[in-house]
């Protein structure tokens, strides 16, 4: 059995080290003792700075006193701890903290988890951690997010995970799920990893709205951050003006997406599939699979998913378009060989358009 954060941190660190070999030499050149010392002092200060805020929240919310608070590690943009309280129907919590504001770092994640929770609230749905609280730290040095603590097992039944993901994608946009007007986007901008992710609502919820949203707020945004002239020229000249051709004859409706679905964000809780740590927004359901190069979905998963959402014509032509967003984001986060992968994705899209 693994906790939500032990698994998340281990997988994230492994991905960064393996998939970004160009970063390894610069990392190993750092004095390990100096790095560890600085990390320990910094983490201790951040953890201590929210103790009073957590204690006040627990007391005000009816959870009593905090009896235990244990570090669960960190990522490049947040620190994690397991907190146990003295009373209440739920007495164990998972807390994420950051030196960035709640508006910038955790509000989007909290609202995303709440939307996923509502869209998965059925017998064969996903197990989504419940959100209890998020706020800025009172001293002005960062923010924190409190959610249900889950004890995770391995991924479990692939077929059940596939069907549960399809159930979430098929959920109707409503006021309760945060999308009362059935549009693409989200109630606020959020983050994907440490990268800002713009989510301004589209004018409507039709196919053309989706194309424009993805063109400008996904690929266009990441290309602006990357600053790679080759990719930008390829996109602006050869792909973006012809993007409509990839969606010819389709009627795309908004689906709630996890937004950053890779192996480190998937597990099971008491046999029920669970996903977490999202970059949620409402989009084309196919965009969910832009990270499947790092998710290891097998035949059982796809059989489960396709039993509810069949594969649309042109899926294989659109797949590298959706992969490109995440490859570019990984380049913007980690550098290294991801730029070459992003270029390959965009070149593949251009070849598909040229053949139409």
| Dihedral, CA of residue 69, residue 70, residue 74 and residue 80, to nearest 10 | -30
> What pLDDT, on the 0 to 100 scale, is given for residue 48?
53
Quote the longest CA-to-CA distance of the chain.
65
Question: What's 214's DSSP letter?
Answer: I
Q: What is the pLDDT along the chain (356 residues), one digit of tens a residue?
A: 444 444 443 444 444 434 333 332 322 232 333 433 343 444 444 455 688 999 999 999 999 999 999 998 888 778 999 999 998 788 899 999 999 899 988 999 999 999 999 999 888 899 999 999 999 999 888 999 999 999 999 988 999 999 999 999 999 999 999 999 999 999 999 999 889 999 999 999 999 999 999 999 999 999 999 999 999 999 999 999 999 999 999 999 999 999 999 999 999 999 999 999 999 999 999 999 999 999 999 999 999 999 999 999 999 999 999 999 999 999 999 999 999 999 999 999 999 999 99
Fold for 49-149, please state it. Answer: Phosphorylase Kinase; domain 1 (3.30.200)
Question: What's 261's DSSP letter?
Answer: -
> What pLDDT, on the 0 to 100 scale, is given for residue 74?
83
Tokens at 222, concatenated = 């990441």
Whole-angstrom Cα distance, residue 74 to residue 10? 10
Reported as a single tens digit per residue, the pLDDT across 134-167 is: 999 998 889 999 999 999 999 889 999 999 999 9
The domain segmentation of the chain, as residue ranges, is 49-149, 155-355
> What pLDDT, on the 0 to 100 scale, is given for residue 326?
98
> What pLDDT, on the 0 to 100 scale, is given for residue 89?
80
Residue 155: φ, ψ to 5°: -60, -35
| Dihedral, CA of residue 104, residue 214, residue 290 and residue 23, to nearest 10 | -60
Reported as a single tens digit per residue, the pLDDT across 157-203 is: 999 999 999 999 999 999 999 999 999 999 999 999 889 999 999 99
Non-local (6+) Cβ contacts of 140 within 8 A are none
Whole-angstrom Cα distance, residue 106 to residue 279? 10
> What pLDDT, on the 0 to 100 scale, is given for residue 108?
92
CATH of 155-355, one of 3.40.50.720, 3.90.1200.10, 3.40.190.10, 3.30.70.260: 3.90.1200.10
**Residue among 157, 174, 160 nearest 256 (CA):** 174
Catalytic residue annotation? 260
> What pLDDT, on the 0 to 100 scale, is given for residue 14?
47
Own/partner pairs, 230-236, CB within 8 angstroms, 24+ separation: 230/343, 231/328, 231/339, 231/342, 231/343, 231/346, 234/343, 234/346, 234/347, 234/350, 235/346
> What pLDDT, on the 0 to 100 scale, is given for residue 6?
41
């Amino acid at each position: 059995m693994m906790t939500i954060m032990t698994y998340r941190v281990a997988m994230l660190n492994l991905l960064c080290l393996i998939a970004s070999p160009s970063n390894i030499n610069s990392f190993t050149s750092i004095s390990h003792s100096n790095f560890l010392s600085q990390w320990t002092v910094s983490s201790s200060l951040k953890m201590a700075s929210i103790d009073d805020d957590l204690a006040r929240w627990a007391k005000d919310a009816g959870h009593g006193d905090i009896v235990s608070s244990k570090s669960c590690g960190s990522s490049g943009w947040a620190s994690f701890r397991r907190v146990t309280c003295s009373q209440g129907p739920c007495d164990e919590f998972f807390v994420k903290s950051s030196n960035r504001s709640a508006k910038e770092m955790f509000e989007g994640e909290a609202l995303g988890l709440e939307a996923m929770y509502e869209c998965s609230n059925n017998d064969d749905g996903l197990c989504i951690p419940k959100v209890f609280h998020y706020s800025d730290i009172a001293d002005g040095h960062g923010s924190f997010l409190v959610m249900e603590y889950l004890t995770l097992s391995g991924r479990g039944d692939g077929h059940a995970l596939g069907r549960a993901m399809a159930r979430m994608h098929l959920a109707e946009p409503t006021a309760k799920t945060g999308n009362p007007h059935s549009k693409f986007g989200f109630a606020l901008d959020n983050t994907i990893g440490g990268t800002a992710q713009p989510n301004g609502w589209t004018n409507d919820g039709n196919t053309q709205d989706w194309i424009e949203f993805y063109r400008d707020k996904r690929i266009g945004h990441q290309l602006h951050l990357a600053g790679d002239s080759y990719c930008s020229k390829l996109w602006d000249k050869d792909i973006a003006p012809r993007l409509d051709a990839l969606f010819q004859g389709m009627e795309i409706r908004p689906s709630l997406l996890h937004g950053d679905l890779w192996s480190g964000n998937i597990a099971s809780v008491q046999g029920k599939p669970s996903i977490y740590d999202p970059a949620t927004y409402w989009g084309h359901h196919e965009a969910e699979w832009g990270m499947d190069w790092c998710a290891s979905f097998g035949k059982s998963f796809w059989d489960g998913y396709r039993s509810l959402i069949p594969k649309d014509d042109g899926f294989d032509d659109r797949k590298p378009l959706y992969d490109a967003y995440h490859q570019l984001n990984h380049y913007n986060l980690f550098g290294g060989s991801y730029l070459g992968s992003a270029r390959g994705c965009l070149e593949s899209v251009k070849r598909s358009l040229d053949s139409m």
